A and B are shown apart, each in its own frame.
Chain A
Amino acid sequence: MSGEAKSESKFEPKIIGFLCNWCSYTGADLAGTARLQYPPNMMAIRVMCSGRVDPGFILDAFSKGADGVLVCGCHPGDCHYIEGNYKCMRRMPLTQKIVADFGIDPKRVRLEWVSASEGARFQEVVTEFTEQIRALGPLQLRDYKFEPEAREVHHVEA
């Protein structure tokens, strides 16, 4: 799909999406059944809960060539496993710090809440994140200028 990307404007980012089985994966499914169009750049990996997302997966994805990683879970309080998404919520800022230490812009990692009924929101999130990664350009390790203030990670709103 992105093999023919030649110029910067035609850059098609590769994005790995970790979607929780109960909310976001179902939300993605809903976006599909509702025929909502979103960029095909995001490739979904189903996990049972956003709490399953090991920071190692994110680093591994970058090391293997992903340009961005999106993690989607249930809205706070709505987790199928009661509190798995809170665990994820606590891990993400730390993950972003680690990612920054590797010279990767922490903006390339994002956590979003998408419920099973939010097909339209899923479309929005994926489209917006894809555009953001497209704007950041292809991931080239060490392309990120290390500045102390840039280490301030982006906290996900609860």
Chain B
Amino acid sequence: MKSQNGDKQALVTIEIDGQKIEVEDGSYVLQAAQALGIEIPTLCYFPFTTPYAACRVCVVEARDGKGWSKVVTSCNYPAWDGLQILTDTPRVLNARRTNLELLMSRCAELPVLRNLAGKLGIEEPRWGTGEDSCILCGLCVRVCEEIVGASALTFASRGGARNVTTPFHEVSDDCILCGSCASVCPTGHIRLEDQDGKKVNLRELQLGPNSAITMPFRQAVPNVPYINTEHCIHFQTDNCGICAEVCPKECIDYEQKDSTEEFEVGAIVMATGFADFDPTPLKQYGYGALPNVISSIEFERMNNAAGSTGGKILMENGETPGRIGILHCVGSRDDDHHKYCSRVCCMYALKFAHLIKEKTGADVYQFYIDMRSFGKGYEEFYQRILDEGGNVIRGKGAEVVPASNKKKHEGHLIIKCEDTLIGRYREVPVDMVVLCTALEARADAKEMARKLNISTGADGWFIEQHPKLGPVQTATEGVFLAGTCQGAKDIPDTVAQGGAAAAQAMKLLCKGEIMMDATYAEIQEEYCSGCRICNDLCPYHAIEFNDEKCISVVNSALCKACGTCVAACPAGAITGRHFTDEQIYTQIEGMLA
């Protein structure tokens, strides 16, 4: 329970509906009642702001046991020793009814008030029914001032004209668009709207609401919440801190910073995955411009029971779509973007079709170039989808446009394409379009490759040592590849490659010692003049100078056999084993013979 002065308070005993409880002197009655599990209706109470007793529906009867009694608001009535509280006497209920009826004379149709009226047995409020939706409790004003620290809201005017607003009824510069006022408003009077393009709502993949302290998604690893510092009120105004206050384990640490940790390892498995192709540049599909055009990963989240819509397939207006179009090869097999096939889209698109049918019964239209059901059981699954009544149209979707005035297509989208099997141009009306976006290499793949001394192909995927004989190894010993960082692949292939990479890494670690290549540089002592030219050339610092003998010496364990020193030695004292001068001269001679 929140202490009013922060110091240790003396404890007092009070009695609520006959139950005794020890509370801090001066703490509020409502808190004690809530601790006992006694229900007192409230509208304007919020545990983290100063109680204000604006709504007055939390009234209770206070007695001293000697005959004195008074109806008080429990949210801000302090406890004192011997206080007796009654929460459901006829006097209390009568007062609550009167107060509620007064509120209803202002805003009668609010569900929250109607609900309370039903509980208190009010059929029609005596003083008329108003149509406002603000009960003037001022909770938003207090939250904005005390918790957010922005003070962007206030009461304005007096008497009947009293209202809550921003200064001069304009969007305030002090407003940080945190949305706290809307989230605490008991009646839903405050709504968030886009103003000047400022984002007012965090949404999971733009599909559902989210808060500033959240988990990335329910199956996230590690499964702990994180604070989005960009949107958290504490990081913007240094106020709030409610999460730290409510956390029973005191886990919230605002001081945590990103840190760099160093580990010494014997092998590295690169499993950095892929990035999702952004379909916005493909203007013909209207992603981001047209409603209900979503990418496959967004659809996947929507379809997930733990996702933004709880697994329901919904259009932006909240209705269930009746016809869904799935466009394959968005960004893949496209000369302007990625020439390669992303390999997974055909099969997940078929899976989508199955799930859509199962969940909504909607008609699904797939627009494909080639149906690549290449894996074990895949072709059978394709046949099953066809048997289920999935529509497949062979022809890449050309364009998605909003339906024109045709009455029956009102509000629909139209997918234009050439059906290459019947040789005709077709326009297919749908309610929702799912774009099967390409898998592409992560933007930082090149940087990572450089750090690990491995290479990337033209598409940005990491290159394996050999396409057939070294599919998980790389040019750098001890660095292995797993999954889509090496190229687009589906889950079975990824798991197989991951297992192979782990096995290769284990092989290296279990041995405890590494096999050295027989290629390394050697310095012939008798020829070395000790000029030290080679010392600075070696990028691995494998060449040391022996002061006693006045010659340079190669540490063969460090040498990687690049041969730069061999070519540089003016005395020809260094031999690059397996790439000796004699060998190369002989090769030249042999070739030119």
Contacts and interface: CB of A to CB of B under 8 A. Distances in A.
Interface of A: 14, 16, 22-23, 26, 33, 43, 45, 47-49, 51-57, 60-61, 64-66, 77-78, 80-84, 87, 91, 115-118
Decide if the interface of chain A is mainly helix, strand, loop or mixed.
loop
A49 B579 CA distance: 11
A14 to B, nearest CB: 6
A81 B560 contact: yes
B434 to A, nearest CB: 32
A48 B592 contact: no
Interface stretch (B145-153, B306-314, B580-588): B580-588
Nearest to B581: A54
Interface stretch (B25-33, B315-323, B362-370, B450-458): B450-458
B450 A77 contact: yes
Contact of B537 (A14, A43, A61, A87): A87
Contacts, number: 95
B98 interface: no
A54 B563 CA distance: 9
A78 B450 contact: yes
What 4 pairs between A and B have smallest CB-CB spacing?
A52-B563, A51-B564, A81-B562, A117-B457
A97 B584 CA distance: 23
B458 A49 contact: no
Q: Which residue of B456, B539, B561 has the most chain A CB atoms within 10 A of its CB atom?
A: B539
Contacts of B272: none
Nearest to B460: A117
A117 to B, nearest CB: 4
A116 B455 contact: yes
A22 B449 CA distance: 14
Contact of A52 (B453, B463, B475, B562): B562
Nearest to B458: A117
A54 B592 contact: no
Given A81-B539, A87-B537, A16 B591 contact: yes
Interface in B539-562: 539-540, 560-562
A117 B584 CA distance: 26
A54 B476 CA distance: 25
Contacts of B560: 81
Contacts of B455: 22-23, 78, 115-117
A87 B463 CA distance: 25
Contacts of A49: 562-564
Nearest to A117: B457
B446 to A, nearest CB: 9
A60 B539 contact: no
Contacts of B478: none
23 contacts: A22-B475, A26-B463, A26-B475, A33-B467, A45-B587, A47-B584, A48-B579, A49-B564, A52-B562, A52-B566, A52-B579, A54-B567, A56-B581, A57-B588, A66-B592, A80-B453, A80-B475, A84-B539, A84-B563, A87-B564, A116-B463, A117-B456, A117-B458
